[in-house]
Structure 1
C-alpha cells in the first residue's frame, strides 16, 4: 500500500498483506481490505500473481482480510472477512465491508468479532460499494443492477432501487444517490467491447421492496450425459450469416460453409440458434461465464488493464466464483467427470509446422501441462493439450477419440465431459502460422469428427453435445456483438428447426445441470431458462456424418514484412482490436473495417 504525503510531496509503501484493494480513513484510523489471505501449512493454496494464497478445494480464495492501521502505517488489528472485500466504510466502532464474492456485508467491531448480513439467493449479487446516509447503509449490488438500503440498527434490507448495468459505485450526494454503472444501459453494439458506462442520480424516496431471487423451473430431459465443447472468439454472423433460414448478415460472413461445413451441417440437421449470446466479452470473463456461470468482481473491475493478473482457466484464485464450476456441481451429485483441455496451458511445444508434421505422421507432440486449479488435475486427460495455437485441433480430436474408444470398449462414459478446441481463435497473419481459414477449418473438422464418433456409439441414445464459443470478441455481428454460435446435438434435438428464443451460456449450464440432476450454483444459472424446448419427445438415432475439410488445414501464412506483431503466448496476449482488424482485412481485403465506415 502506498502512503502519499501531499505536503511533503513524498510516497512510501507499507506491506500490509496480499492484494490490498479498498481504503477508508476515519480520523486517525485507516482501514484497508486485502483480497487474499496468506497460505498456511496444511491448508489448500494456489499462486496469485506469484504469491501463495489460501484457497478452498474448488479453487476459489478462502477469503480476504480487513486491516486497521494508524496514519503512520503501523498495523493495529486484522480481521478475516469474506472473499473479494471490495469496499470498506467506517462508522464509529463499526466497520462495514462489502464482500462481493461471498455476497455478504460484514461488520467488524473492536472486540474482534465480524457479524455478517447475507443476501438472499445463490452467488452473484456482488455487493461492491457502500455509502452511509443517516440510519441507512446503501449497497450497490453489481450483479443485480440495483442499490439496496440496509437498516444500520438491524442489518435488515429496507428495499432497493433499480440502476443501470453493473453499478460499481454509490455515494451520498446533495440531490440524491450518485451511482456509477460500469456498463451503462446495455444497448446493442456491433462489437462485444463497445459498452459505455454511465453516472446517474437516484431519488432515495423511490425505494421499493426488493424482488425475490428468480429461479426457473427444472426440467427432466431425455438424456443423462453432457459433452460440453468450448471454442474461441467467433460471432454468429462470422460463421452463420450465410444461413438464410436464420437472422444473419451474409456480408459479415468470414468462415462460411466452405470453411465450416460441419458447423453448418450440425446447425441444419439439429437446430439453428440465431439468438444465442455469450455472457462475456473476452477470453478471461468468457471462460468464467462458460464454466462458472458468473464473472466475479475481480473480472468486472479489471477491464481497465488487468494489472494484477489475466485470469484464464482458474489460474487466479482471487477471481474464481464462490459458486465453483460446472464440474463441481456434477461431482457434488456423485456424477462422473472427465476434462480435455479446459483450464490447461500447453507450454513449450514446437512451432506449428513441426507439430503438424508430427501429427500427420501419427507421432506425439511434445508439450508441458500447467493447470491452475489443483482439483481439476485429477479429472484431466494428461495427453490432451489446452491453449496453444501451434497445436492442431485435429491432434486434440485424436487424443480424445483414443480415450473414447476405450470408453466404448468398457461400456462406461463419464456423465460430464468438457472439451477445449481453441484453434478457431486463429493466429491472424502471423508468418508460419496457419491462415485464419485453415485454423477455423481444422477446428470445424475436429468438432465434426467428435460428434460423429459419439453419434455412432452406444452412448448416443442418452447424450447431448453442446458446442459454443467462450466469447465473441474477434468479430462483428449485425444484431449484437455478444451474439454467437451454439450447437446442440443429440438424438432428441435432430429437428432441423430454427429457434430464435434467447439463450446464453448460463442457459447451457442450466440445461447441463438439469441433465445431471445438479442444482444451479449461481443466481445467473438459476435465473436462466433451460434449453428444454429444443428437445423432442422421440429420438432420431441416425448418426451424424462428419464432412471432410474442403481446404488445406495445413496452409500457412506466407512471410510478410509488414505483418502485425501479434502475441499468442497466452490467451488475449495480443491487442484485441488489432486482431479484429487483421482478421477483417484478410477476409475482406478491399472493404473498410466497419468501425471506420462513415455513418
Structure 2
C-alpha cells in the first residue's frame, strides 16, 4: 500500500481552530469559513474567539462577557472574555474528582491550559484519565508554542459538579451557574483575575402532577431523582435566585444569604426563566408544554399559563412548538418567547395572560421549519434572534415587528446578549471541525465560538450581511429558483421509471473504514484506514461495482441520536441537539432522541427490542420521546397523510403526547422485526423482512420500505458477543440477501434501493470525519459509477420525497438537490447475486456466564431471552436454571457506548490486532501533519 497522493481528493474548506481573538475582514475571511455536511456555508462577521465545546450561555460580565460551555466532554467550563474578546480566566467543572496534580493539559480543539497560571495562554481543559502525564504535557506544549506571546491565563478546577445552560450575573462580580446533574447552583466570584467557587446551593426534585407531560420522572427511576437546574436569574434586589428544574417541572426560589429554598410548579420541561413587568412577574418557558408559566414574584405563586402553540392534549399527535428563550420588553409587562420548533416569536402580556402578537422567523415566505430560534435579546428598540438552524441572527424592529435583516454567525448559534452597544453571540459548534493537532472524541468536533458585533455597524452593513446569510444557506431567490427548476426536471424523469423506493440504514461506518481497499474509488479511498474489506464485505463491494457508490457523502449529524432524526425527518430538533451531550457524557439524562428507552435500565425487562412498536401505557417506566420530535415529524407521517403505502422495519415512529402510536400508523409497522439487540443477527432480520414481503405480493407490495440492519455497529471486544468481523460479514450477507430478493420481484423493474449509515463514528477517514458512504442500486441506476458530487443524508430524503410526491419536512430538504448524475438511460434488470460469507462464526474471548450463552442461543434463532423462551427451549436437564435476571439481560451498558476513537480502537484490535491498530494510528498522525489538519478531521467521533 502507498499513501494517497496529497490533494487528489477534494478537501472541504473549513476554518481553523481559533486560538485568540480575530477580527474578520476581507483579508482573512476565507480562513474562517466552513462548509457543513448539508452544503451550507459558515461565514461569521465581526470579531471571533474560540471557546470550549458547545457553549450554550453568554451573559454580560465586568467589561466583557462570561460564556458557559457544556459539551459531551469530561469537564464543562465558564470562560471570562474582556472587551477585546480575549479570554482572561476559565473555570473547569468535573462531575467526579478533579485532577489532583498540577498538570499541563490541552483542549482537543487546540486550546492549551495548565492548572497553574505560570504557563502562557492557558485556556481550556481536557482531562484524559488514560493518557500519561507526558502525553498531556507534549500536547499542551505544542499548543502553547502556537499561542506564544499571549499573556498568562488563569484556570480554576472544581470537582463533583456540573454545568448545564443556565448562567446569570449578580452584584459584586458574582456569577450563578445552573448545575444540571449535580442538582446545585454554583455561586462564583471573580477574585484577582480568577473565578473562585463561593458557595453551592443544593436543590431537590419536586414531584409533578401525573396528568402533566411527561407524566412520570424522566431520569433513572432507580437512582436519586433530580431537579436538574438548567436556567437561573437573579431577583431585582439581588436577594433571591430563581432556578428552573428541567426534570422537576418546577421553579425554585433561593434566598442567596440563607440558602432557604421554596418551590413553585411550572410547566413541562422548564427551559428558561426571566423577570418581567418591572420585576413583578416571573415567566418560565415550558419546553415540553407549548406555552409559558407566569408567576407572581412577591407571592411566589402561579398566576396562569399562556399558550404559545396548540392547546395541550394528551392525545396530541403533532410535534410541540418548543418554547425556549425568553426576553422581557422594557417598559411593558410583555415577554417574548421563542417557539424554536416552529420558527416564530410570540409576544405575551404577563398581566392579561394573553398573546399580543406573533413574529414569523422565516428566511423566506412560507418556509418550512428549520430556523430554530433559541436565543433572544432586546436592545434599543430591536429584537435579536439566534437562529440555531440557519447559523445567523435575525434582527427585528421591535415596534413594528418587521424583520430588518440577518447577521452571519458560526455553526448553531445557541445564545446571545447585548452589552455596551455590542452584540455577543455564542455558536455551539463554532467553525466546525477545524484544524487541530490533538485527538478528538464526541464533543470535540464542536469547538465553540464567541462572536462580537458592534451594533454601530448595523446601519451600514446589515443589508450586505443579510445577502451573505441568505447566500450561505442557499436561500436567495435566485438560488431557490434555479434549484427548484433542476429538481423538477430530475423528479419528472425519476417518476417515469421509478415507483418503489427501499431505504436500508446501517450503523456508524466511515467511507475509508469499509471502502479503503476499493481500488475503483481511487484517491477517494485510503487503504491504510480500511478496517473491513473484500473478505468481510464481498457483497458491499459487488453492489458498488454494479451500482452507484457515492464517494463524497456525509452524515448530517455527529452521533446516533441525531442520525436517525436526519434520515427520517431531514432535521434534528433543538431538544435533541441540546440534550444529547448530557446523556452521551452520562450526566443524568436518559437518552431521548425519538425512540423510547427504559427508565429502569437495571431491571428485568429493560431490554425490549420491540418497545419501539408498543404504547407507553403497555411498557410502564419508559421514556416519553414526544418532546424530541421536529416540527413536521417524519417521513412516515407524510407517507400516511398522503396515502402512500409503506412498511417500517425497525425504525421508531412518532407517538401522541401520552405515548400512543396511532392505529393507522401501527398498520405500517412490522412489529415482529426486532430493533436494537446485539444477539440477533442481521441475516435473521433480513429473512423476517423477506418473509413479510413474500406475504404481500402484487398490489400489496408497499411503495416505500424502510429497513434497519444495525449489526455492522458490532459489539467491539465485549466478551461472548460475536467478533466485529463476523458482525460486519453477517450484516453484509443479510443486506445482500434482502437486495437479492428485491431484485427477483416484479417491482424491481421500477425500484431504487438506497443504502447508507446513520453516522460516521467507528473509524477514520482521510477526507472528513463526517464522511460515510451511500450506495444506490436498481435497474435505473448507473453501473460501476462513482458519484463525486457532495451529498448528504438529506439529499436521499429529498429524492425519496421527489419520487413519492411528498412535501418537504424542513428547510433542509426543501432546499436540497434531488440526487442526479447516477440515473441510467437504459435499465438493467439483472438480479443481484449473493456472495458467500468468508468469515466463520467467531466470538470475542472472555468469560461467558450461562445467561449470556442463553441470550446468544436465543438470538441465533431471532429471539430474545425471556422466561417463556427459556421454558420452551430447555429440556428437563435445564429445569433447575433460574429465570433470566437483570444482570444478564441486555441493557444499554452492554452496548459499545464509548467515544468514537475507543470504538475504533476496539474494532481494530479485535479484527486486526494491536500492532495493526498502532500502525494505522501512526499513519493517521502522519497524514494529519502532512495536510496541516487535526486527527479529529479524519477520525470517528462517537460510540453511539
Which category of TM-score, normalised to the shorter sequence, fits these structures?
Answer: 0.7 to 0.9
- Number of the residue aligned with 1:223: 498
Shift of 1:304: 3.1
CA contact (8 A) 1:191 1:473 kept: no
Q: Give the Cα separation in 2 of the matches to 1:570 and 1:249.
A: 33
- Number of the residue aligned with 1:258: 535
- Number of the residue aligned with 1:320: 629
Q: Give the Cα separation in 1 of the matches to 2:660 and 2:413.
A: 30
1:582-593 mapped onto 2 (5 Å cutoff): 582-587=906-911, 588-590=913-915, 591-592=917-918
CA contact (8 A) 1:191 1:477 kept: no
- Number of the residue aligned with 1:177: 423
CA contact (8 A) 2:291 2:305 kept: no
1:462-477 mapped onto 2 (5 Å cutoff): 462-477=750-765
Q: Give the Cα separation in 2 of the matches to 1:468 and 1:122.
A: 26
Q: Is 1:112 matched up with 2:393? A: no
Task: Pick from 265, 275, 285 the counterpart of residue 33 of structure 1.
Answer: 285
Q: Give the Cα separation in 1 of the matches to 2:595 and 2:291.
A: 18
Q: Give the Cα separation in 2 of the matches to 1:570 and 1:138.
A: 41
Shift of 1:446: 0.8
Q: Deviations over 1:272-296 (max 9, x none)?
A: 2110011011111110111111011
Shift of 1:90: 1.2
Q: CA RMSD in A?
A: 2.5
Task: Pick from 80, 87, 102 the counterpart of residue 325 of structure 2.
Answer: 87
Task: Pick from 351, 361, 377 the counterpart of residue 131 of structure 1.
Answer: 377
Moved over 6 A (4+): 189-192, 565-568
Q: Is 1:574 matched up with 2:897? A: yes
Q: Is 1:559 matched up with 2:846? A: yes
SS in 2 for 1:302: helix
Q: Give the Cα separation in 2 of the matches to 1:267 and 1:415.
A: 24
CA contact (8 A) 1:426 1:435 kept: yes
- Number of the residue aligned with 2:513: 238
Task: Pick from 305, 309, 329 the counterpart of residue 78 of structure 1.
Answer: 305
SS in 2 for 1:495: coil
Structure of greater relative contact order (alpha carbons < 8 Å, 6+ residues apart): 1
Q: Give the Cα separation in 1 of the matches to 2:817 and 2:756.
A: 17
| Unmatched tracts of structure 1, length 5 or more | 38-62, 346-370
Q: Is 1:439 matched up with 2:680? A: no
Q: Is 1:294 matched up with 2:561? A: no
Q: Is 1:331 matched up with 2:640? A: yes
Count of aligned pairs: 544
Q: Give the Cα separation in 2 of the matches to 1:127 and 1:195.
A: 19
Taking structure 1 as the reference length, the TM-score comes to: 0.86
Q: Deviations over 1:62-92 (max 9, x none)?
A: x343433425531112101242111111112
Q: Give the Cα separation in 2 of the matches to 1:183 and 1:250.
A: 31
- Structure 1 window deviating more from structure 2 (149-158 vs 575-584): it is 575-584
Q: Give the Cα separation in 2 of the matches to 1:191 and 1:251.
A: 21
Shift of 1:126: 0.1
SS in 1 for 2:799: helix
Task: Pick from 317, 340, 355 the counterpart of residue 100 of structure 1.
Answer: 340
Q: Give the Cα separation in 2 of the matches to 1:479 and 1:566.
A: 41
1:155-554 mapped onto 2 (5 Å cutoff): 155-174=401-420, 176-187=422-433, 193=443, 194-204=445-455, 205=458, 206-208=461-463, 209=466, 211=470, 212=475, 215=480, 216-217=483-484, 218=487, 219-220=491-492, 221=494, 222-246=497-521, 247-306=524-583, 307-315=588-596, 316-343=625-652, 373-374=661-662, 376-408=665-697, 410-552=698-840, 554=841
Shift of 1:162: 0.5
Q: Give the Cα separation in 1 of the matches to 2:888 and 2:411.
A: 32
Taking structure 2 as the reference length, the TM-score comes to: 0.55
- Structure 1 window deviating more from structure 2 (136-145 vs 165-174): it is 165-174
Q: Give the Cα separation in 2 of the matches to 1:24 and 1:107.
A: 14
CA contact (8 A) 2:650 2:675 kept: yes
Q: Give the Cα separation in 2 of the matches to 1:380 and 1:468.
A: 21
- Number of the residue aligned with 2:883: none
Q: Give the Cα separation in 2 of the matches to 1:151 and 1:470.
A: 41
- Number of the residue aligned with 2:860: none
Change (3 A) 1:566 1:9: farther
CA contact (8 A) 2:324 2:374 kept: yes
Shift of 1:238: 0.6
SS in 1 for 2:304: strand
Shift of 1:437: 0.8
- Structure 1 window deviating more from structure 2 (112-121 vs 161-170): it is 112-121
SS in 2 for 1:202: strand
Shift of 1:9: 2.3
Larger Rg: 2
SS in 1 for 2:679: coil
Q: Give the Cα separation in 1 of the matches to 2:638 and 2:370.
A: 16
Q: Give the Cα separation in 2 of the matches to 1:585 and 1:71.
A: 63
Change (3 A) 1:335 1:277: same
CA contact (8 A) 2:386 2:392 kept: yes
